[in-house]
Amino acid sequence: MPFLVESTLIVIAALVMDCVLGEVKRHHPLILFGNFALRCEAVFYPKKDTGNQTMLMRGALCWCVSVLIPSGVLFAVYFISPKFLQIPFTVVVVYFAIGARSLAEHGQAVAAGLMHQDIEDAQQQLSRIVSRDTQDLNETQISSATVETITENTHDAVIAPIFWFLVFGVAGVIVFRLANTLDAMWGYKNKRYEYFGKFSARIDDVLGWPSARLTVLLFVCVSVFKRPVSGLGQIYTWAKRWYSPNAGPVMAAGAYVLNVCLGGPVPYHGVLKSRPWLGDSVTAQPPRAEHIKHAIHLMYQSTYAFVFILLIVGAIQWLY
């Protein structure tokens, strides 16, 4: 069986597992990995100021140890496993790397609070999926934060893991998911992580670059009958303003196809962070609870479109 056909069937099996089982509530491998990374950070983070270059080197070394040790263990398990167990092992790995149902459930919980006009509940639900301050956000700000998170994580937690699995197999999906997790832990431009986490942030930028552009194209393709493809120019213009080379294009594409205004200043740890706006300042609507549901639909539609394309290409490859 050609490689693409087999890989696509593995992806489908992993997506079915995610749909049926959802996220593991206890002892999720990524939580265990996060705990391991924190132990590595405690070892490598200097006890006193050592200078920016040394901090950068320590952060890079900590990243290598944090990623290579668990990756090496998983690769060893894969390669020493009997052939008939390698495919089930790969399906489970891809399943753990994907978080579509969890993302949808979190978004639906926020939307439910807004629909019932329970702002406090919506703020609390939102605090589970974002790092910004949520206690003083209004309905529009809550909706915007949720749509931003869903669109960005459509890439991080769905499209990108599938993409890297297709490119480099089980090794690709493991390394990407661990690198993305470390970026979420250390990729902050604050006093503690500005230099220690710089390597993690840059690696995540590099790994996410091709899959983020793929996500933009999938967003536009599944919305082609609602929003014209000519909007790619607008998406590019908005994305250039954003500080992240991957989140910017994905969120800008989400703002375009959903026709909402995203971005803008947000509070982080008591400080208002200035961010550019994403969306058409004339026609875009302020985000509401219904747009959260539309963002969830966009996530699933993009994922199904990706799998459908893979099936078509794989079938052609198989036949010819």
Residue 174's contacts (CB-CB under 8 Å, 6 or more residues apart) are: 70, 71, 74, 75, 93, 97
Q: What is the pLDDT of residue 2?
A: 56
Q: Does position 1 have pLDDT exceeding 50, yes or no? A: no
Q: How far is CA 219 from CA 1, 140, 292, in A?
A: 30, 23, 15
Q: Does position 157 have pLDDT exceeding 80, yes or no? A: yes
The stretch 18-41 carries a mean pLDDT of 94
Q: Does position 222 have pLDDT exceeding 80, yes or no? A: yes
Pairing of strands 262-263, 266-268: unpaired
**Identity of residue 181:** T
Instruction: For residues 230 and 285, give the distance between their C-alpha atoms in angstroms, rounded to a whole number.
Output: 20
Q: Does position 10 have pLDDT exceeding 60, yes or no? A: yes
Q: Does position 270 have pLDDT exceeding 90, yes or no? A: no
The DSSP symbol for 260 reads: B
In terms of residues, how long is the chain?
Answer: 320
Q: Is the torsion defined by CA of 35, 38, 43, 47 positive or negative? A: negative
Q: Does position 152 have pLDDT exceeding 60, yes or no? A: yes
What rounded mean pLDDT belongs to the chain? 94
HEC per residue, 205-255:
HHHHHHHHHHHHHHHHHHCCCCCCHHHHHHHHHHHHHCCCCCHHHHHHHHH
Considering the entire predicted model, what is its pTM?
Answer: 0.95
pLDDT digits (tens, 9 = 90+) for 272-281: 989 999 999 8
Higher pLDDT, residue 49 or 158: 158
Place of tokens 């949720």: 146
